[in-house]
């Protein structure tokens, strides 16, 4: 079993944050046209993760260096260095890594990230911070968001809900909303599925709703998991009612690690099966439930 990533791995990341990827224009990471910024690191270790290379920080083992076909990676004083100018983005390094990491990380300061945002600001309505789990870098975000708001842009967090927002209100001050994953209601199912307790996630659902910061909620529907799917969808639908969008997402096997894919199913959730949960959510008052 892959050991659970520790939040301590990311605890010294205040002045700079590890950025895995920036999509300058995205229309799937929140409403309208937005810049999506993906941070490295996640305290969860979901069995269905589609981008497991974002979970952990690189331990500089050097295994991927040898496999790069264009020598864009090198080991310098025990650290992996990535030359993005010659990288051809073949992702051989990511396939080589057995540590759920990537050598293609850019450590960026708030000012450096703001420069990236400024370059596209006339063409976007806002930014969405994602991951990994962006809130691992909360101090960075608290510094970044007011400056993004000054540029007239909206600010969204795409979060797994691991950070207790009530205990960390400062991160919400300049945040327009949180797109929250509620992956499991049942505690035992959560322990198995995401390998992390879910109490804080459920607390965040109620708290974000109360302070009017819940942009949307997402739940993945797994094949042949009637009880667990029903419990989670029922809980979310009864909690949010018609207050925000509820995305019911079909599990898809693409990108999921081999071992986990064999446990969860090497196939996509049937559309008709998932639609039952949209109907269930709507019947319980979640009128903005949609299937993705």
Q: How far is the CB of 137 from ligand SF4 (least distance, A)?
A: 19
Q: Does 96 bind ligand SF4 (CB under 6 A)?
A: yes
Q: Which stretch binds ligand SF4 (CB under 6 A): 35-43, 94-102, 154-162, 267-275?
A: 94-102
Which candidate, 52, 46, 37, places its Cα nearest to that of 101? 52
Contacts of residue 184, Cβ cutoff 8 Å, sequence gap at least 6: 190, 193, 194, 198, 228, 232
How many residues bind to ligand SF4 according to rule CB under 6 A? 27
Choice from 19, 37, 55, 97 touching ligand SF4 (CB under 6 A): 97
DSSP characters over 115-184: HHHHHHGGG-SEEEEESS-GGGGHHHHHHHHHHHHHTT-EEEEEE-S-S-TTTTGGGGTT--EEEEE---
Residue with tokens 């299937």: 291
Q: How far is the CB of 196 from ligand SF4 (least distance, A)?
A: 22
Q: Does 269 bind ligand SF4 (CB under 6 A)?
A: no
CA 254 to chain centre: 16
Choice from 4, 88, 170, 211 touching ligand SF4 (CB under 6 A): 88
The H or E element containing residue 93 is helix 92-96
Q: Does 54 bind ligand SF4 (CB under 6 A)?
A: no
Q: Which stretch binds ligand SF4 (CB under 6 A): 101-109, 178-186, 206-214, 278-286?
A: 101-109
Cα separation of 274 and 229, whole Å? 9
Q: Which stretch binds ligand SF4 (CB under 6 A): 11-19, 33-41, 70-78, 152-160?
A: 70-78
Choice from 16, 60, 74, 260 touching ligand SF4 (CB under 6 A): 60
Contacts of residue 167, Cβ cutoff 8 Å, sequence gap at least 6: none
Q: Does 81 bind ligand SF4 (CB under 6 A)?
A: no
Which positions lie near ligand SF4, rule CB under 6 A? 58-64, 68, 70, 72-73, 80, 82, 87-93, 96-97, 99, 101-104
């Amino acid at each position: 079993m892959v050991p659970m990533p520790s939040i301590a791995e990311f605890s010294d990341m205040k002045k700079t944050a590890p950025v895995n990827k920036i999509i300058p224009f995205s229309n799937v990471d929140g409403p309208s046209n937005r810049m999506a910024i993906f941070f490295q690191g996640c305290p969860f270790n979901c069995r269905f993760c589609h981008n497991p290379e974002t979970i952990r920080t690189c331990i500089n083992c050097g295994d991927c260096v040898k496999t790069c076909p264009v020598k864009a990676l090198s080991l310098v004083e025990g650290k992996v260095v990535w030359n993005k100018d010659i990288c051809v983005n073949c992702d051989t390094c990511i396939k080589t890594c057995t540590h759920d990491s990537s050598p293609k990380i850019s450590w960026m300061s708030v000012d450096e990230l703001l420069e990236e945002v400024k370059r596209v600001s006339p063409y976007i309505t806002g930014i969405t911070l994602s991951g990994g789990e962006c809130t691992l870098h909360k101090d960075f975000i608290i510094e970044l968001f007011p400056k993004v708001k000054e540029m007239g842009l909206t600010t969204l967090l795409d979060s797994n809900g691991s950070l207790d927002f009530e205990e960390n209100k400062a991160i919400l001050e300049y945040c327009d909303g949180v797109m929250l994953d509620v992956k499991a209601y049942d505690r035992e199912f959560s322990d198995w599925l995401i390998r992390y307790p879910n109490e804080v996630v459920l607390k965040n659902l109620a708290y974000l709703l109360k302070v009017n910061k819940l942009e949307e909620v997402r739940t993945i529907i797994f094949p042949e998991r009637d009880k667990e799917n029903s419990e989670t969808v029922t809980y979310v639908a009864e909690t949010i009612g018609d207050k925000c969008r509820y995305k019911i997402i079909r599990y898809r096997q693409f990108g999921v690690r081999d071992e986990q894919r064999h446990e969860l199913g090497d196939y996509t959730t049937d559309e008709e099966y998932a639609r039952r949960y949209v109907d269930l959510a709507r019947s319980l008052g979640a009128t903005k439930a949609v299937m993705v």
